[in-house]
Amino acid sequence: MANADILLSNAHEFVGREIGLTDWLDIDQMQVNIFGEVTRWPTWMHNDRDRAARESPYGGTIIHGFFLISLITYFVRIGGIDPADGSTSLNYGMDKARVLQPVVIGDGIRVRDRIGLMKVVDKGDGKRLFTTSHHIEVEGLDGPAAYVEYLNMWFPKKA
């Protein structure tokens, strides 16, 4: 999805503004379990509902912080912030990533992302390095559950 207003050539005009708010995304315990398996971190606090209900200070299983953070690439894609004249982008890393509060899964949660444009750097040949801020919100929680400053290298469409 592309934002018709944001172009690689004018992206600097959007610095300091919120440029996207995603729709809600449903996350359930099965997804958390799969994430735990593929990342080799299926710990009881994340994946064992019965034990977490008994022993966790949160009263249930919690989503992996890295799971929340890993969603930013998805949120960038669905958030409508792709420059209309951009052909593709590559993950360039993160400047900052913080898990700000635990998120209890229960019967499922809903998350979304508030995306801001922090910085645009010209990398030559029409390429731009975007730094975006991501406030990952969980329905029913006050304040963001995670905060990420994400770097994304954009390449222009070929003429």
Report the predicted TM-score, pTM, of the whole model to 2 decimal places: 0.93
Q: Which fold has domain 2-156?
A: Thiol Ester Dehydrase; Chain A (3.10.129)
Domain boundaries, the chain: 2-156
Integer distance in angstroms from the first to the last C-alpha of the chain? 20
Distance, C-alpha 14 to centroid of its chain: 19
Q: What is the pLDDT along the chain (159 residues), one digit of tens a residue?
A: 556 699 999 999 999 999 999 999 999 999 999 999 999 999 999 999 999 999 999 999 999 999 999 999 999 999 989 999 999 999 999 999 999 999 999 999 999 999 999 999 999 999 999 999 999 999 999 999 999 999 999 999 997
Is the CA virtual torsion 90, 91, 93, 96 positive or negative?
positive
